[in-house]
Amino acid sequence: MDTKPGPRSSRRAHAVLLIAVMTTVVLAGCGSGEAGGGATKGHGAPAPTASVQTAPTTPGRGPRVETIPAPGPTGVPADPADVAVIRAWSNALRRGDVRGAARYFALPSVMINGPDSEGNAIVITIRTRAQAEAADASLPCGARFISADQRGRYVNARFRLTDRPGPGEGCGGGTGETARTNFIIRGGRIAEWIRAPNDLGDNRGPPATGPQSTPQGPSSTV
């Protein structure tokens, strides 16, 4: 009897791998109450630039190490069209509309929800709408948009974390904290979603005194 797995088995295996990656991300970052907008919880200076590990897509294939960019604040207003996309995405997620939030991601796109306590993060490559839904479901907090500025190629958005209904919900102690995400928007869709460190002054930290000089590393690409 032919025991070669068919397309349905392959898709099931792919889904299991994706869920495993998402679980790793939640435990590393969002599971500690730092999700939705995604930022490293803390009360001091932003975390240093962290390395990124690309999750292997086939057995035996090693991760690729890259750099997460962490540009400092500029005070330059972001493009209103980009802000509209970010605001609409966060509104959908806050309502628990994971499917609606997923439609704001480009195909392909990437989500980098890190760094973890060791300075590493998992790059989640999103190639299908189902993967986009799983990526959004991995963010247990909702996010209420506060502000944004342009930081080189990135729109840095600050959010207030909230509880949310729907798949993957459970913000817990993160509720009420602020969090930041660096976005690249292309064609009205999110091409890159990169968890960003807090700015000075976020979450009751010392007030920022001006633009920070954190170097900007190369962007992750798909």
| 186 part of a folded domain | yes
| 207 part of a folded domain | no
| 84 part of a folded domain | yes
| 15 part of a folded domain | yes
Residue 191 is which amino acid?
A: A
pLDDT digits (tens), the chain, 222 positions: 544 445 444 444 444 333 333 433 333 334 333 334 443 333 333 333 333 344 433 333 333 435 677 889 999 999 999 999 999 999 999 999 999 999 999 999 999 987 666 766 678 899 999 999 999 999 999 999 999 999 999 999 999 999 999 999 899 899 999 999 999 999 999 999 999 989 999 987 554 433 333 333 333 332
Contact between 220 and 192 (Cβ < 8 Å): yes
| 215 part of a folded domain | no
Which residues neighbour 182 within 8 Å (Cβ) at sequence distance 6 or greater? 69, 70, 71, 151, 154, 155, 156, 157, 192, 193, 194, 195, 196
| 194 part of a folded domain | yes
In the structure, how many helices (H) and strands (E) does the chain have?
4, 10
Q: Is pTM, for the whole model, over 0.75?
A: no
| 1 part of a folded domain | no
| 40 part of a folded domain | yes
Q: What is the CATH number of the domain that holds 126?
A: 3.10.450.50
What is the number of structural domains in the chain? Answer: 1
Contact between 73 and 151 (Cβ < 8 Å): yes
Cα 78 to chain center, whole Å?
19
State which residues form the domain around 20: 8-202
